[in-house]
Amino acid sequence: MKGTLTIAGLGPGSDALVTPEVSAALAAATDILGYAPYVARVPPRTGLTLHPSDNREELQRAAEALRLAAEGGQVVVVSSGDPGVFAMASAVFEALEQAPQYQDLPIRVLPGITAMLAAAARAGAPLGHDFCAINLSDNLKPWAVIEKRLRLAAEADFSIALYNPRSASRPEGFGRALAVLKEAGCGERLVIFARAISAPDEKIATVTLNDATSEMADMRTLVIVGNSQTRRVGRWVYAPRGVR
Amino acid sequence: MKGTLTIAGLGPGSDALVTPEVSAALAAATDILGYAPYVARVPPRTGLTLHPSDNREELQRAAEALRLAAEGGQVVVVSSGDPGVFAMASAVFEALEQAPQYQDLPIRVLPGITAMLAAAARAGAPLGHDFCAINLSDNLKPWAVIEKRLRLAAEADFSIALYNPRSASRPEGFGRALAVLKEAGCGERLVIFARAISAPDEKIATVTLNDATSEMADMRTLVIVGNSQTRRVGRWVYAPRGVR
């Protein structure tokens, strides 16, 4: 049987948010690779080899997945959320660029519910008008680029989804991002802190940016900064469809 | 039985991209409201009333959904893609703001695979780095706001997902958007035209912005403009994870 490589999104946590297409790919897999907590979401079974790996090893994991598929495996690389949003799909194509001998392999990317969509749904509709998504990790880009994008996003009056706001190795960045947005005049905007959405320990809170502090986020939090029109109705937060 | 209102995303077209959570909500519904082509995706059955309506009637549809739920219905409002991205969720919260008598109704928003995620997955990983999403319809916002956002998005070097690029009633806007991005120095960027992704008549094409023309998009097309680093590897298009 010819090997294949599938890059699949598991959604934010709940099995009720895994698409049937992804479930079918997992059921047909011989090998599953990914960051250990995501691989742990797949139940073991005969004929399936699980290959959990560490967070920082995206490119090596991608190269290993290509190699296993070339050997005939039905290989699935799993990401949390959507594999194309700050996740494994780009890493696989980077690895493919470095390994032209694999360019004829059958590859599929299967989308998933990315964190900002799950967080927005729980909060109401804060992404109902134009928005952007910025990865706050500066592992692979200079912090100056992040600051510039935050300023331009504020000027464009986008709602702003912030991925990877804060981790143990990057405790400072999120506080600086909040300061940049305050300087850009966003102090009165609503900010949603959505932690572990759809998992049993899910938590969501909304404050104004002036009241937001760095400690409100951790590595499992997705942050959405509203646009200038974002507002509350009852317990919900939403962006109106139009600009007045 | 107490009435409930659920706002559900059907994904881009294929049943394989509908989450189990949404399928369960559809199976339990007494009333389903939405734009006619989306309601037509739900099979009729005893005990279920389908309420198809026209494209431009979002706010009336939302008010009707609130009323039916208040009367005890298990009401589901369906959107294509994700209900929170340029779709029905914001309209429902706008209607709720105007009808405070319904503010205690149990409401749930169920996320879905929005068009840009499905399109990106089919193309490769063009949203693998920071990006924005802009609705090109100027029904509810001035065109000047759209132009300003396009210029700032280009300056921020975001990949740009363009929703509703072109319709029979708005034939001009998309051409103007392409011109704005050319003026902003994006002529060499890759542009993906993704039409009816996951439907039987799916079609996808990639050209440089200099070679893109207005006629390449219609109302079923999602357009993704790459960032300055977006490139091809074999038949794939992807944004590298980092900034060089």
**Structure confidence at residue B39 (pLDDT):** 98
Pair of tokens at residue B147: 């132009």
Pair of tokens at residue A68: 């296993």
From the CA of B153, how many Å to the nearest CA of chain A? 8
Chain A positions touching B91 (Cβ under 8 A) are: 241
Percent of chain B with pLDDT over 70: 100
**Structure confidence at residue A55 (pLDDT):** 82
Region B235-242: mean pLDDT is 96
Helix (H, G, I), strand (E, B) or coil at B24: helix
Band the pLDDT of B18: cuts 50, 70, 90.
very high
CATH superfamily for A116-238 is: Tetrapyrrole methylase, C-terminal domain (3.30.950.10)
Q: How many helices (H) and strands (E) does chain B have?
A: 7, 13
CATH number for the domain running over A4-113: 3.40.1010.10
Region A46-70: mean pLDDT is 95
Percent of chain B with pLDDT over 90: 94
> Do the Cβ atoms of A120 and A198 come closer than 8 Å?
no
**Structure confidence at residue B5 (pLDDT):** 98
DSSP 8-state code for residue A203 = E
Averaged pLDDT score across all residues of chain A: 96
**Structure confidence at residue A11 (pLDDT):** 98
**Region(s) of chain A under CATH 3.40.1010.10:** 4-113
Band the pLDDT of B42: cuts 50, 70, 90.
very high
From the CA of B206, how many Å to the nearest CA of chain A? 17
Q: Is B113 left (phi over 0), alpha (psi -120 to 50) or beta?
A: beta
- CB within 8 A of A232, min separation 6: which ones? A190, A206
**Region(s) of chain A under CATH 3.30.950.10:** 116-238
Cβ <8 Å between A20 and B18: yes
Query: Treating both helix axes as pointing N-terminal to C-terminal, what angle do B173-183 and B143-155 enclose, rounded to 10 degrees?
Result: 30
Q: Please provide residue B116's backbone torsions phi and psi, each rounded to the nearest 5 degrees.
A: -65, -30
DSSP 8-state code for residue A80 = S
The rounded distance, in Å, linking the Cα atoms of B163 and B220 is 9
Higher-scoring residue by pLDDT: A32, A2? A32
**Structure confidence at residue A168 (pLDDT):** 85
**Structure confidence at residue A211 (pLDDT):** 98
Pair of tokens at residue B227: 């960032």
ipTM surpasses 0.85? yes
**Structure confidence at residue B167 (pLDDT):** 85
Band the pLDDT of A40: cuts 50, 70, 90.
very high
Looking up tokens 């790919």 gives: A25
Region B112-118: mean pLDDT is 98
**Tens-place pLDDT, residues B174-201:** 999 999 999 999 999 999 999 999 999 9
Region B217-229: mean pLDDT is 97
Helix (H, G, I), strand (E, B) or coil at B81: strand
**Structure confidence at residue B1 (pLDDT):** 64
From the CA of B110, how many Å to the nearest CA of chain A? 6
Residue B125, H or E segment: strand B124-125
Cβ <8 Å between A238 and B149: no
